[in-house]
Amino acid sequence: MTIAASDNVRTGQPHMIAHNPVGYPPIVTKKSLAPRLPTLQEKTIFLIDSRFDDSTRLLEQIEIWLNENLPSVQTHLVPMSGYYGRDDPELWARARAEADAVIFGVGHCSTCAPAVAKHAVTLESDYGLPTVSVHTDKFAAVVRSTVRMAGLDRAPRAFVPQPVMGRSAEQLRAYVEGDDPVTGLPFMREVIDALTVGIAATNEEAVQFARTARLLDAASEETLHKLFLNNNWTDKLPIILPTEERVAAMLAHTSRKPDDIVGRMQPTANRGLWEYTVEKVAVNAVMAGCLPEYFPVVLAIASSGLSARSSTSSSGAAMVVVNGPIRQQINMNSGIGALGPYNHANATIGRAYGLLSQNLQGGSVPGETYMGSLGNGYSYNSLTFAENEERSPWEPLHVQKGYDREDSTVSIFYGGRTTTFSLGLRETYWREHVQDMLRATDVVGPPTLLLDPITARQFIDRGGFDTKEKLIRFAYESAQMPAGRYWDLQLVQNYIYPNATLGVEPAATKLKAAPDELVPMFNEQDINVVVVGGESNGYWQIMGAGYRTTMSVDDWR
């Protein structure tokens, strides 16, 4: 949005100068395509499988089409050795030695689409192999952004309709024989042309970002609010404009210099890490409505480099637990309503985490840098609260993570896709009730037990769990299901099965179990317990939220 020079004259409002809330983009190094093949006749093509959500089945149909229509072409369908998000240099080297070209797919989620696109760029630029990446049409903008950030705007890609998962062989064959829904061109003609001299020229150039401006042009308050809204710099709720005075007041509450680097962040792997300073974090803290005394907590969260606006299509959200003396110093809530909208520090610190995530990582725009299919209401304040250390019968979370009780910390979790809920522990079947709750937690968002102090004491009275470790062991042993059912879960197939086939423990041992043998749903070290609540009743929740890290607040005072 351009601000007209006459803006303030028309509105009669005084000029205001606000800070730009956007982080600093990475430097993009331009790469080159591998030489194209004059023809595919008598050539060998690797079809590399990303191993996500039935991608093999689409590649199988592409292979069948090639065998029927280009019988002199030798095809080999080869799966990546592990999780698609990791590089596979042994496979890349094998492809260079044995293949003339590569078809890589399928990118049909918010993380696998960037990964497939980036791997294709690597094969092109580093291994000299003509490569075309295959994706579903929902991720066209994601792929375009990824290859630009990777320095190869012209990286060939072709698209089929969404979804691939659950489609029959006949439906997938129709995709292959049909048109690319993004370009309207015949899909297989596009794939063949991408690998040969028939590749279409393009006017795209490698993207080069200008250094982000520190301040915005002066304008009226109304115009600035429109600018922030239209540029997707807000969470669509009203913000506090980050004027120079407000940002300076925020900066006064840290000993760090305004231009000190706090960290780097990206919406998902392979998208390019954006950099940000203490001042940039302060800008977003002001926008969220934080008081200046909250600023060290916001800086500690930002220093993790973990985004609260992750692009995952599974619609995850962040959760932040605050421990130590800082809780009382800034009057955070760990009691009644702690997880809700009833405390200024809880609400605005969590909101600041979301705002700084989207602005400092280069954006969070649906369809481009955010692909959460459903979205998540927890994203509004990143579910930020303080642990009720005073009423807990156990040691606090940050002590479990290696800090002293007098240290002030933030612990960051990610997930929030599943929440199970109960009241207290019944005398007879409480173990079974807990097991039911654990089984309802998604397997890649391990359980974090959020216990009102009443329930925490009940776990001691009923089960003798006088330490969190004993309760965690009980949860680990209770959360079991038959191996056949476990391995049939789509999330397990996507994220755990590839590691199991590589011998990574404990997944590899689970893979050896008979279909009816009970296996643990989670790793014991991934389960956590937090005491929070005001003892108005013994309600408690199990939040599917995986622990990421704990950061010191004191380092940022």
Mean of the per-residue pLDDT values for the chain? 92
One-letter identity of residue 207:
V
Section 296-304 average pLDDT: 98
Task: Compare 197 and 512 and report the one with higher pLDDT.
Answer: 512
- Give the residue-averaged pLDDT of 138-162: 91
For the cut 70, the answer to whether the pLDDT of residue 228 exceeds it is: yes
Using the predicted structure, report yes or no on whether residue 2 has a pLDDT greater than 70.
no
Q: How many whole angstroms separate alpha carbon 153 and alpha carbon 30?
A: 9
pLDDT band at 306 (very low <50, low <70, confident <90, very high): very high
Cα 270 → chain centroid: 12
Alpha carbons within 13 angstroms on the beta-carbon side of residue 528 total: 29
Q: Going by C-beta distance under 8 Å and a sequence separation of 6 or more, which residues neighbour residue 100?
A: 37, 43, 44, 45, 129, 130
pLDDT at 208 over 60: no
234: Cβ–Cβ under 8 A, 6 or more apart, which residues? 228, 287, 355
Residue spans of alpha helices (H) in 112-251: 112-125, 140-149, 169-177, 187-195, 221-230, 244-251
The DSSP-derived string for 46-74 is EEEE--STTHHHHHHHHHHHHHHH-TTSE
Which three-class secondary structure state does DSSP give residue 317?
strand
Residue 175 · residue 137 · CB < 8 Å? no
In terms of Cα–Cα distance, which of 216, 208, 270, 269 is closest to 243? Answer: 216
Paired strand residues for 449:
529, 542
Q: Supply the pLDDT for residue 494.
A: 85
199-206: Cβ within 8 A, 24+ apart: 199/33, 199/36, 199/156, 202/153, 202/154, 204/148, 204/153, 204/154, 205/153, 206/28, 206/30, 206/31, 206/148, 206/151, 206/152, 206/153
**Exposed, middle or buried by CB within 10 Å (0-12, 13-18, 19+), for 524?**
middle
Ordered DSSP codes for 491-533: HHHHHTHHHHHTT-TTHHHHHTS-TTSEEESS-GGG-EEEE--
pLDDT by residue (tens digit) across 356-405? 999 999 999 898 888 888 999 999 999 999 999 999 999 999 999 999 99
Residue corresponding to tokens 């329930």:
455
Domain at 44-195: CATH architecture: 3-Layer(aba) Sandwich (3.40)
pLDDT of residue 274: 95
Q: Are 102 and 93 in contact (CB under 8 A)?
A: no
Query: CA separation (Å) from 92 to 46, 80, 114, 376, 500?
Result: 10, 10, 17, 37, 21
The closest alpha carbon to 133, from 124, 125, 141, belongs to 124
Averaged pLDDT, 246-265: 98
User: Which range has the worst mean pLDDT, 67-81, 450-464, 495-509?
Assistant: 495-509
In 3-state terms, what secondary structure has residue 417? strand
pLDDT for residue 1 is more than 50: no
Question: Hey, where are the domains in the chain?
Answer: 44-195, 221-479+521-556
For 254, other C-beta atoms within 10 Å of its C-beta total 20
Residue 296 has pLDDT above 80, yes or no: yes
Q: Is the pTM of this model over 0.75?
A: yes
Structure confidence at residue 204 (pLDDT): 47
Strand partners, 274: 265
Which segment of 109-113, 115-119, 315-319 scores lowest on mean pLDDT? 109-113
Q: Give the per-residue pLDDT at 8.
A: 45
345: its two tokens: 């520090």
Give residue 149's pLDDT band: very low, low, confident or very high (50, 70, 90). confident
Q: Are 373 and 315 in contact (CB under 8 A)?
A: yes
Token pair, residue 132, equals 């075309």
Confidence of residue 214 (pLDDT cuts 50, 70, 90): very high
The residue that leads in pLDDT, 234 or 311, is 234
Residue 199: predicted pLDDT: 54
Mention every residue, 6+ apart, whose C-beta is less than 8 A from residue 263.
275, 276, 302, 303, 304, 305
